[in-house]
Amino acid sequence: MIKSGNLFAGMPGTLAAEQITALLTAPNVRIERIVSHGQASPPGFWYDQPQAEWVIVLAGSAAIAFEGEAPPRTLRSGDHLHIPAHTRHRVEWTDVSEPTVWLAVHYR
């Protein structure tokens, strides 16, 4: 079945938590739209994912910290990065003045 849509359709007005929408799920890949608005990882929390992730910021801005690396990397619209599997990372901050829209590709 052919599906289509628009990444910016149905954007939430305000968010109490990040909104993660699965756009495509297949055996070895998952593509998500993530919308953040001032959210960050909880203090002391680190993502340690079993799969690799490629992420791009489409709108807004954010900072991602990687364990053992300082300072955090600031991402703005158009910036992308690859996070290998089991690379500990956290979201330090996301833009509070506008939504940050991410496209994340998780793969094995």
Count of Cβ atoms closer than 10 Å to residue 15 Cβ: 15
Say if 86 falls within a structural domain.
yes
Looking at the domain assignment, is residue 1 inside a domain? no
- pLDDT one-digit tens code per residue, 78-97: 999 999 999 999 999 999 99
Single-letter residue type at 103: L
CATH of the domain at 79: 2.60.120.10
pLDDT tens for the chain, residues 1 to 108 = 898 999 999 888 778 899 999 999 999 999 999 999 999 999 999 999 999 999 999 999 999 999 999 999 999 999 999 999 999 999 999 999 999 999 999 999
Q: Is residue 40 part of a domain?
A: yes
Residue 104 near residue 53 (C-beta atoms within 8 A): yes
Global pTM reads 0.94
Q: What confidence score (pLDDT) does residue 1 get?
A: 87
Q: 91: domain range?
A: 19-107
Q: Tell me how many domains the chain contains.
A: 1
